[in-house]
Structure 1
Amino acid sequence: MQNFDNKQKLEPFTLIFSHQKFFQNIPDLIPREICPCFSLEGSEIKLISGPAHAGKTTFMSQVASSLVGVKIYIDFENNQMQELGSGYLQAIEETAAEIRKKETEGGEGQIFYFFDEIQNLQGWESWVDRLHRQGAEIYLTSSRSKLINEFSSRFPGRCKILKFFPFSFKEYLLIKGNEIEEPGFLTTSSDELLCMFLQYFENGGFPDVIKNNDISLSRKYFEEGLEKGDAYGYDIQKLKKLTIFLISNMASEYSLETLKKVSGIENDELIDNYLNYLEDIFVLYRVPKLNSLQESGKEKDIPCKIYAGDTGFFKAVYPGYPDSLGLRFENLVFLELLRREKQVFYFQNKRECDFVIKERDSQKVSAAIQISVCFGNPVVREREILGLMEALDEYDLEQGLVLTMDDEETIQVNGKNGKKIIMVKPVWKWMLE
């Protein structure tokens, strides 16, 4: 590399090599659980999509450590790389070729590219397409959810998508040094596990928040996401007001008129644009009401509930707000369902069921789940069972689930179509299944 005869050519190579040094020395690699439906096998282009700071780069480094060949890592979120622009993409390929020539026999080794935040590279699709057709294996990350559909459309039949999230409770236990040797077998007592679950529940699943026990990092991540909205012409103060209101009312339906009032955003279309942006950066999720899908001809008319992208956002973003433990509890279960690749809806008729579930790529409801932190209260118990039973009868399900803080039992209830079984179990046990 010493033979380059001008500083302008040397600079991109120096930057590229600095990226390799960082990628090869990422500390504290915690094995991540990934959905069984996603396989790292195969030569397809792989996209890892999820919120910033959830550990996507660390996961790529973990993958790279098991591969044999030339590994090139580039962070397109890096300001210096963005300044270089697409004109220096050739330097990346030349670097890969030079390393392959030096490190592999006959210069024929496999090249693996790992590109962080690929959406920051204008025209990335054509370049990635060419590299892949030339035989390279490619791993991409993005902190923008809208890239998922674009990616699938651009590379039909040649891509795999892994939806990535902050740590699950299982992963939280691993990072805290607790081994789960096999399903149903734990080396830690139930009391200790419950205590650790409550800490996880309070602080959320962002890796550095857990490692440093620093909830202020969640606030930092929240602010970072909103500030990037400035590049898209969003009023940051209005965006912030809207987001804080929604997070403080997580697991609740919202009215457009209320959102306009609290945020100062003028009309329905603008509100929808702001909500789309918050979903795009994984700060919020919208969950539709299932039994209204057939009743409305327009998707925007379907009632929705809002959930936060991490339970730690609640305390970090609005520490002075009166806590609603039940709604945060519901939010936690929602995120776990997403990790398990479920399609999530809620049901509401005469009564409400918190979640009705469809399996991946299915149109049939497969499960109904009710969330309750006070299931021991007779009034609450009756309300939760009646809401769950209404969903079980609606979708002809034989069994329902109630997730609680610490209650555990099996209940038989007579429904319209015969007896139903309701399993009641602590949420932390369910999250370890």
Structure 2
Amino acid sequence: MLNVDVLYKVLEDSQKISAINIIEREEYFDFLKKNIDSRVIKVVSGFRRSGKSFLLKQLVEFLKNKKKINEENIFFINFEHDLLFSHRNLDDLRKLFEIFKENIWRKGKIYIFLDEIQLVTGWESLVRTLYEEGQNNFDIFITGSNSSLLSSEFSSALSGRVIEMTVYPFSFNEFLLYNKLCVQKEKDFYQNKILVKQLFNDYFLYGGIVESFSLEKEFKKNYFESLFRKVLLDDIIKRFKVRDVSAIENLYKFIISDIGSILSPKNIEISLSKTGYKLSVPTLYTYIDYLIKSFALFELKKFDWKLHSVFDGSFKYFLVDNGFLRALNLNKRDIKEKLLENLVFMHLKRQGYEIYYGRDDKGKEIDFLVKNKTKFTKIQVTLELNANNYERELNNFVLASKHNIKGENLLLTMEDNEEKISYKGI
């Protein structure tokens, strides 16, 4: 039963910051601070355990300590709290807020934080009402683990009144800061070269999800498997009412095993049917869309440099974090090559770039094309450049340039030196 005692407990627990090593994620935190008291709804989305809740908790501390906002003006609810398990519905959400206003709030603006709001059926209705009736009396922040958090109906009803920020697991630079190492200049790297390389190896293999950092290596695989099952259950199966659980799980693991490879729903259908899972192409499209909406998967479209056109028929897929790739990949062959390519993709994704993979009608390929107005930065990724792959890696730069794909050429390897290469006029 919902009452003021339950609410006090939920409010206290929801705002509690764990004792793990804290860093301020400047880009994300600055975005939130700049929009305090702005007349828009702030939406923070991203993969589970990527740090959304933690950012809101830090913001609450900032409000209390720097802005001198009173405790009774902060309504912070984490809907994953066990006391709310049977109360994730619109009526009970309204009741919680009424209990807060009648028993805790005294006067002044209310700062509303609704964490993992997608768990509440019909939440959009209350948020819309709070926004429209609250005028300048409410400042609303919401988080969710689904990229479709802003439904078309909700977005259109509040067009221009919502801003969204996507949070990703730690970047390598954030991982260094977490480990109390600041590398901003070249000299910082060389002064700490051995430690930086050790930390990069950890990040390369196990990713940037904070909860996994303190685990011994032998337990990390179990952690990522467990987290994936939670995402599968809460963010996909329950949300989208998926019946064939094993099919979507095996689809995900199949894609993971071919990360960075060119896939189409048709060839996925053929491959899965050989393992006993018969899924139609429309169903595959639907399941892949669910995985993308939960941030468990990212889709990369093809840019044909000969035709200068983007195509939807075949895609490359990448994961939100290398920890999942290492833990769930069924094909251990070339795992380091896949880890490096996934790492590069996520770095580009964090920067907000418009990214494609490049391919022509003869199958010649560029790993990543990063668009900047009329130019493309062309990126090839390989563990090392040697006599066996030298021609292959560099020739595709030449082919792309012949079709007027202008821009910088970058070849990324695991080696720690930088050099300029002259090859056939590029």
User: 1:249 is matched with which residue?
Assistant: 258
Q: How many residues align?
A: 394
Secondary structure of 1:167's aligned partner: coil
| Paired residue secondary structure (2:420) | strand
Q: Distance in 1 between matches of 2:161 and 2:290?
A: 27
Q: 1:283 aligns with which of 281, 296, 316?
A: 296
Alignment partners' CA distance in 1, 2:395 and 2:303 = 18
Structure-2 separation of matches of 1:25 and 1:13? 18
User: 394, 401, 408: which is aligned to 1:399?
Assistant: 408
- Tell me if structure 2 keeps the 8 A contact 1:35–1:339: no
Change (3 A) 1:30 1:122: same
Whether 1:208 aligns to 2:211 is: yes
Counterpart mapping for 1:219-234 below 5 A? 219-228=225-234, 229-231=236-238, 232-234=241-243
Q: Cα 1:269–1:378, aligned 2, differ >3 Å: closer, same or farther? A: same
> How many Å apart are 1:412 and its aligned residue?
3.6
The yes-or-no answer on 1:303 pairing with 2:306 is: no
How big is the alpha-carbon RMSD for the aligned residues of Structure 1 and Structure 2? 2.7
Q: Provide, for residues 241-273 of structure 1, a one-character-per-residue CA deviation record: whole Å limited to 9, x for no partner.
A: 111111011001124344224261331001111
How much has 1:237 moved relative to structure 2? 1.1
Tell me by how many angstroms 1:224 deviates. 1.5
For residues 167-218 of structure 1, what are the alpha-carbon distances to aligned partners after superposition, in whole Å with 9 as ceiling and x for unaligned?
11011112222234x4445275222211210110101111101133441211
- Work out whether residues 26 and 58 of structure 1, in 8 Å CA contact, stay in contact via their aligned partners in 2: yes
Residue of 24, 42, 46 corresponding to 1:46: 42
Alpha carbons 2:4, 2:103 under 8 Å: kept? no
CA offsets, 1:390-424, max 9 Å, x none?
33454542422222111410224454xxxx4xxxx
For residues 60 and 201 of structure 2, what CA distance do their matches in structure 1 show? 34
Q: Structure 2 vs 1, CA of residues 382 and 148 (structure 1 numbering), >3 Å: closer, same or farther?
A: farther
1:143 to 142, 145, 148: 145
Looking at structure 1, the residues matched to 25 and 321 of structure 2 have their Cα atoms a distance apart, in angstroms, of: 17
Indicate the larger mover: 81-90 or 162-171.
Answer: 81-90
Match of 2:378 in 1: 368
1:383 corresponding residue in structure 2: 392
CA distance in 1, matches of 2:206, 2:117: 29
For residue 156 of structure 1, report the CA deviation from its aligned partner: 1.7
Structure 1 residues 294 and 219: CA distance shift in structure 2, 3 A = same
Please give the alpha-carbon distance, in whole angstroms, between the structure 2 residues aligned to 1:222 and 1:368.
Answer: 32
After superposition, the C-alpha distances for 1:50-91 in whole angstroms (9 at most, x for unaligned) are 111111101111122212322211122345425223223133
1:296 offset after TM fit, Å? 8.3
**Partners of 2:188 and 2:8 in 1: CA distance:** 43
The residue that corresponds to 1:31 in the other structure is 24
Cα-to-partner distance string for 1:364-399 (whole Å, 9 max, x where unaligned): 444221112112x03322222222333345454242
Deviations 1:82-136 (A, max 9, x none): 52232231332441564341xxxxx22x321111111222222221122233121
Gaps of 5+ in 1: 1-7, 102-106, 421-433
What CA distance in whole angstroms lies between the structure 2 residues aligned with 1:26 and 1:320? 38
Counterpart code for 2:252:
T
- The partner residue of 1:315 within 318, 326, 342 is 326
Equivalent residue letter for 1:259: I
Structure 2 unaligned regions, length at least 5: none
Do residues 262 (structure 1) and 272 (structure 2) align?
yes
* Structure 2 match to 1:56: 52
Q: Quick one: distance in 2 between partners of 1:17 and 1:190?
A: 49
How do 1:147-166 and structure 2 match up within 5 A?
147-148=149-150, 150=152, 152-166=155-169
**DSSP-derived class of the 2:286 partner:** helix
Q: Equivalent residue of 1:289, what SS?
A: strand
Give the partner amino acid of 2:408.
Q
Three-state SS of the structure 2 residue aligned to 1:115 is strand
1:368, 1:392 within 8 Å by CA — same for their partners in 2? no
Report the Cα offset of residue 355 of structure 1. Answer: 0.5
Contact 1:82–1:121 (CA under 8 A) maintained in structure 2: no
More displaced 10-residue stretch of structure 1: 302-311 or 35-44: 35-44
Moved more, 121-130 or 76-85: 76-85
What letter matches 2:367 in structure 1? D
In the alignment, what sits opposite 1:126?
125
Instruction: Give the structure 1 partner of residue 284 of structure 2.
Output: 271
Alignment TM-score, normalising by the size of structure 2? 0.84
CA distance in 1, matches of 2:251, 2:305: 25
What is residue 189 of structure 1 aligned with on the other side? 192
Output the CA distance in 1 between the equivalents of 2:305 and 2:395: 20
Q: Distance in 2 between matches of 1:331 and 1:367?
A: 17
CA distance, structure 1, for counterparts of residue 292 and residue 272 of structure 2: 19
Q: Percent identity between the aligned chains?
A: 27
